[in-house]
Amino acid sequence: MGTLKDEWKAWINIIKDLQPLELSRPYSTSDYVNTQLHVFCDSSTKAYGAVAYLRHSGSTILLMAKSRVASIKAVTLPRLELLPILLGANLTNYIAQILEPIINGFQIYLWSDSQIVLSWLNSKKKLPQFIAARVMKINKLTKKHTWGYCPSSPKPADLITKGMNGNTLIAKSTYWLQGPQWLSDEEKWPKKETLQQPTRETSELYIQHQEVKEDPKQEHDLLKSLGLEKHSNFNTLIRVLAFVLWFIDKCRKRHSPSPR
């Protein structure tokens, strides 16, 4: 395992590999007709993100992308898939506010490969608080836009969530800067599928961690039981441990026999 210095040097060498990469930004809006904004959202256990493309006259160009590092805390897959959609909704709202005074009447499409989350957006059933709050915000930001299901085949946002080195980015630069080929031809767009309404399996069991029935005869590791691996901040971890030790000491004193 390399040291931090070795990792830093490797990262510097990757930056050098990006020298041949050129970013063309032809954003003149004088001849934009039938303009569309397309935003792709995706997530993984390491990161999640969204990338936006402007499509006009059959061609597409990269506008902007956003990414976030995934939490180290245990999060169920559908909740993880909800975060990039919220990020994509915020990104869409930001870009739309800039483009609306310049381009009149452009259409906005958002794409995701999460059927569960897309079904939440159309659900009339009561959802858990964590989900409901974010779904309400997403719908508020995108109520005038069109959501589409994009199969889990390669899509631009994959490059954000999976990561890549400089050579890979250069090799896939056309794909990253222009989006998938099917985007330029509406006849090749993914067919709109009928999404099922959320069921118990897609609204509760996927969201909540399953309860584990503990065997009273089974011994448990204290650190594992406390879930200390969920804390990414060292100072928070220290405070949690201090509180636990204080609580244990107080319980021992309470149950210890008083001196006669």
Residue 128 falls within a domain, yes or no?
yes
Range of the domain at 133: 33-205
- The number of distinct structural domains making up the chain is 2
The dihedral through the CA atoms of 114, 80, 128, 38 has a sign that is negative
Cα angle vertex 11, ends 159, 5, to 5°? 145
5 in a domain, yes or no? Answer: no
* 9 within a domain of the structure (yes/no): no
Query: Are 158 and 247 contained in the same domain?
Result: no
- C-alpha closest to that of 77 among 168, 172, 208: 208
DSSP secondary structure string for all residues of 170-198: HHTHHHHHH--GGGG-GGGSPPPPPPPPP
Question: Residue 83: its pLDDT value, please?
Answer: 93
pLDDT for residue 199: 52
Residues 110-155: pLDDT tens digits?
999 888 899 999 888 888 888 999 999 999 999 999 999 987 667 7
The CATH number assigned to the domain holding 189 equals 3.30.420
| Position 166 pLDDT exceeds 90 | no
pLDDT in tens, 175-192: 888 888 888 888 888 876
Q: What is the largest CA-CA distance in the chain?
A: 94
What are phi and psi for residue 238, nearest 5 degrees?
A: -65, -45
pLDDT band at 205 (very low <50, low <70, confident <90, very high): very low
pTM of the model: 0.70
Report residue 108: phi and psi, to 5°.
Answer: -125, 130
